[in-house]
Chains A and B, each alone.
Chain A
Amino acid sequence: MEETKVVGKFDVVILGGSAGSLQVLMKILPLLNVQLPFAFVIVLHRKSTEDKTLEQLIDLKSTVNVREVEDKVLLVPGNIYIAPSDYHLLFEKDNYISLDASEKVNYSRPSIDVSFESAAEIYKSKVLGILLSGANADGTKGMQIIKEMGGTIIAQDPETAETPFMPLNAIKFAKPDYILTVEEIIDFINSIQ
């Protein structure tokens, strides 16, 4: 990617991942600009018991402030929000997050599709969806919807993914705007105005 590339404005950047995505996230987090001009939402599949550990891990690695997600918290640019286990994370008007404990989607709760779709409904073209490594089809449908609503989607380059199924599936069915290596994803996020 060119050094000078300036990426459009986003209100929300959502990063979704499953198997093999945690180590990618750990690479991305320390290298992010401290003052992110958007709210950064992370939706990872994991076991329901690993909640606190994941939050602590991300907080430790991250230069950006991590806010605990509870129902109806306000999304504020410059903060990281992590979808809690056993809840779907949804977006409401007026920049609130709401949670939903309904049925799993794609065997997952939180489901990446659910958060992608909900973000697209509220933020339209101001959404950037990034899909990392994983062994599940979650994320593809949500990416399609982000794209339909005018947002931007990125898949991790499957060559660089520990478990390539998830980005491959998205590349096949959602035609991402960009297919990027981890380093390129970091550059992309940091060049958002």
Chain B
Amino acid sequence: MIEDLQLETLINVVYEYYGFDFGSYSRASLKRRVDRIYQLDGFQRFSDFLSKIRSEPEYYKRLVEEITVNVTEMFRDPSFYKILKDEVLPNLAAKPFIRIWHAGCSTGEEVFSMAILLKEANLLQKAIIYATDINAKVLERAKKGVFGLQLIKQYAENYRNSGGKNDFSNYYIANYGVAKFNDEFSERMVFSQHNLVSDGSFNEFDLILCRNVLIYFDKDLQERAITLFDGSLSTLGYLALGSKETLKFASISDKYVQVNKEKVWRKLK
């Protein structure tokens, strides 16, 4: 494993050369991610690693892409999707227009899951999903709506466990080992790069999902990101976090009420 001091040096170099601040990321996880790419790319000396980051912007991009975690699946945590379907969407249904923000959408599996729920609730046509991530590469993949066919069996099982009643295979076309999800879903999505560390609010939303992103931030940055979500959420809108993340310690928590003990909070004022 790389040394603490080396990690701090890297954080400073990245900030100095590229203006990106990893200083508020959880150290234990960041250290593992940096060590992973250091080993993966076969470096022997940390100074070589640093000078490559300094001198090659393309390599810096790779560093960011490899540091950010992009492990995701469709209908991850089925009980969470059940709450979306049974509690959240019915309460948004009366709105003339539904705006949703997926912050940290990675390769898009959860965005397409959301779109399927919207379609089944007959809300897809009046909804728009803004899906953002810091990593441009995963956004390119997300846009395509193409996922490995070998994963679909698990996704279909998650879908059924979340209360899905339809034939999951209606939602995609299988070909050459991949599943391409229907265009009616991606037509309702807007993908763009957004950085929770430095970018601000860009719209007002009825539902914001940010799942398993805050775990990589320290408490100060978590607080900042939650404040950003709060400022981007309409009254009576919903904020959804990952299954081990909480709003409990956030300064804005008294404005929110938790929905059915799941990681969904409704903004009351």
Does chain A bind chain B? yes
Chain A residues with Cβ under 8 A from B215's Cβ? 71, 87, 98-101
Instruction: Give the contact stretch, choosing among A32-40, A89-97, A151-159.
Output: A89-97
Instruction: Give the contact stretch, choosing among B123-131, B230-238, B239-247.
Output: B239-247
Which of B29, B33, B71, B249 has a CB less than 8 Å from the CB of A98?
A: B29
Instruction: Give the contact stretch, choosing among A15-23, A59-67, A114-122.
Output: A114-122
| Chain A CB within 8 A of B69 CB | yes
| Chain B CB within 8 A of A72 CB | yes
B33–A102 contact, CB under 8 A?
yes
B26–A101 contact, CB under 8 A?
no
Size of interface on B: residues with Cβ below 8 Å to A: 22
A101–B1 contact, CB under 8 A?
no
Interchain Cβ contacts within 8 Å, total number: 60
* Binding site secondary structure of chain A: mixed
- Report the minimal beta-carbon distance from A138 to chain B, rounded to whole angstroms: 15
Chain B residues with Cβ under 8 A from A93's Cβ? 27
Interface string of B36-65 (1 = CB under 8 A from A): 000000000000000000000000000000
A101–B69 contact, CB under 8 A?
yes
Which of B69, B244, B246 has a CB less than 8 Å from the CB of A84?
A: B244
Size of interface on A: residues with Cβ below 8 Å to B: 22
- Chain B residue at minimum C-beta to C-beta distance from A72: B219
Which of B28, B71, B222, B243 has a CB less than 8 Å from the CB of A103?
A: B71
A102–B26 contact, CB under 8 A?
no
B222–A102 contact, CB under 8 A?
no
Chain A residues with Cβ under 8 A from B216's Cβ? 100
Interface string of B70-101 (1 = CB under 8 A from A): 01000000000000000000000000000000
Most buried by A among B27, B31, B245: B27
Most buried by B among A102, A103, A145: A102
| Chain A CB within 8 A of B32 CB | yes
A92–B71 contact, CB under 8 A?
no
| Chain A CB within 8 A of B214 CB | yes
Chain A residues with Cβ under 8 A from B192's Cβ? none
Complex Cα gap A145–B243 (Å): 30
Residues in chain B within 8 A of chain A (CB atoms)? 1, 26-29, 31-33, 69, 71, 212, 214-216, 219, 222, 242-246, 249
Residues in chain A within 8 A of chain B (CB atoms)? 69-72, 84, 87, 90-93, 98-103, 114, 117-118, 121-122, 145
Enumerate 11 A-B pairs (CB-CB under 8 Å) in ascending A order. Answer: A70-B246, A71-B246, A87-B244, A90-B29, A92-B26, A93-B27, A100-B216, A102-B69, A118-B28, A121-B1, A121-B31
Which 5 interchain pairs have the tightest Cβ spacing?
A: A90-B28, A102-B69, A100-B29, A71-B215, A98-B26
